[in-house]
Structure 1
Amino acid sequence: MHLFHNSLSSNARRVLMVAEQLGLPLDIVNVDLMSEGDRTRLHEINPNGKLPVLQDGNFLLWESCAIMQYLCDITPGQQLYPQDARVRADVNRWLFWGSQHFAETVSILSFENLWKGMIGMGEADPAEVARAEGELRKLGAVLDAHLAQRDWLVGEAVSLADIAVVAPLMYLGQARLPLGDFPNLMRWFDRIRQLDLWKNTEAG
């Protein structure tokens, strides 16, 4: 299987973390998003022009959470995405929350505080930063409260839920994410950072 990937993408890292935990070998195809040629080729396999994309034979799959689920579904005996309908629904809840709310809000701060200056688009917009910080604190409070009496988002071990939600925190410091005052969240993040799935997917 081939994974079209860029090490700057937290969505692509989600998939790498799943593959690492499952012991699935992936042929990594690095996509330079600053290259017009690479962007053109990316649009040929994903009409959205975004990463990651998984190629398994003649099957092309985009959207990181869909890829994560697929990798689990083709791996016998895996524990990241349990078969029980209610447990799986709980995992899905966090996949969707992570994508629709948490990662989306983190991406605003990543753009304003990190990428905007790097690509020559000027200074961060203070109003936009303030709005996103306020929203992220609300989301952080939800996550912190959920983690008050548990080590993992769902069940007794790391799952797709944790991987989906934690990936954008790779930019915790650089994007100046206002989450340091949430002790349960930070302990959870530290717990994940001790796992091989995090250590072995850090950009070299």
Structure 2
Amino acid sequence: MLKILGRASSINVRKVLWACEELGAPFEQEAWGEGTKSPQVAEFKALNPNALMPVIQDDDFVLWESNAIIRYLANAYDGDWLYPQRAQARGLVDQWIDWQATELNTSWRYAFMSLVRHSPAHQDPRLLAAACKGWNYTMAILNHQLEKTDAFVAGKDFSLADIPIGLSVNRWYETPMDHPELPGVRAYYERLTKRKAYARWGRNGMP
């Protein structure tokens, strides 16, 4: 039985939960504490030396890093429709998954820590303004892509790339800041919401 270790409040854990639901992969979830705050920290570090969620156990196989996990799940649970085998189609999916992990994820870090986590170390007004501007800039890049496809991020079909991107779109809208009008992103947000798994793990009130 596939086991997912991590709390559903984590955006990276929700990637895995959403992917499992799309794939129809049965799983058990254990909501361990986050990272080094976990009372099972020594046991958890034996699974992931970074002490970060999520981790999966698929029988005797252990894997960490959320994007590696969702790729594995698509490969292991008949997810060719979600993560295509053809090199060019898969390349586009991987491109947007990696873009989310690097450019988009990096752009939101300061603003999210300031406005949602209320971190005392992230309250410099100038840095916050710059972070919000940078986050909106990367979202405009996404908007341009979505206006080209008029569907999903890697093309006309829903794919594995839409899982990290869709969760990121929800985080942007759920963060209390000025959001420029991005019609492609807004239409995409509504389109994803028609998927039951996204309504459960994505657009569910958690940033």
TM-score over 0.5 for the pair: yes
Per-residue displacement from partner, 1:119-166 (whole Å, max 9, x unpaired)?
Answer: xx4773322311211211211111111111321112322111111212
Q: Which letter does structure 2 place at the counterpart of 1:17?
A: W
CA contact (8 A) 2:56 2:69 kept: yes
Structure 2 match to 1:135: 134
**Superposed counterparts of 1:157-196, under 5 Å:** 157-196=157-196
* Structure 1, gaps ≥5 residues long: none
Normalised TM-score (structure 1): 0.88
Total equivalences in the alignment: 201
1:71 is aligned with what amino acid?
L
Change (3 A) 1:177 1:40: farther
Q: Deviations over 1:10-57 (max 9, x none)?
A: 111111111110000111010123844144443231111211111112
Q: CA deviation at 1:104?
A: 2.7
2-side partners of 1:25 and 1:185: how far apart?
Answer: 31
5+ residue gaps, structure 2: none
What corresponds to 2:145 in structure 1?
146
SS in 2 for 1:32: coil
Is the CA contact (8 Å cut-off) linking 1:109 and 1:176 kept in structure 2? no
Report the counterpart of residue 42 of structure 1 in structure 2.
44
> Structure 1 residues 187, 15: closer, same or farther in 2, change over 3 A?
same
Partner of 2:3: 2
- Which residues of 2 match residues 54-203 of structure 1 at below 5 A? 54-76=56-78, 78-117=80-119, 121=120, 124-149=123-148, 150-201=150-201, 202=204
Q: Which amino acid in 1 is paired with 2:153?
A: L
In structure 2, relative to structure 1, the CA distance for the partners of 1:134 and 1:40 (3 Å cut) is farther
Distance, in Å, in 2 between the alignment partners of 1:122 and 1:83 is 44
Distance 1:123 1:73, change over 3 A: closer
**In 2, Cα distance between the equivalents of 1:153 and 1:82?**
14
**Counterpart Cα distance in 1 of 2:112 and 2:101:** 15
- From the superposition, tell whether residues 175 and 77 of structure 1 become closer, same or farther in structure 2 (CA, over 3 Å): closer
Kept after mapping to 1: 8 A contact 2:169/2:185? no
For the residues of structure 2 that align with 1:145 and 1:57, how far apart are their CA atoms? 42
Sequence identity, in percent?
A: 25
Query: Partner of 2:15: helix, strand, or coil?
Result: helix
Q: Which moved more, 1:11-20 or 1:73-82?
A: 73-82
Distance 1:203 1:134 in 2: 23
Change (3 A) 1:92 1:178: farther
Select the structure with the greater relative contact order (CA < 8 A; seq sep ≥ 6): 1
Paired with 2:88 and 2:169, the residues of 1 have a C-alpha distance of 27
Q: CA RMSD in A?
A: 2.2
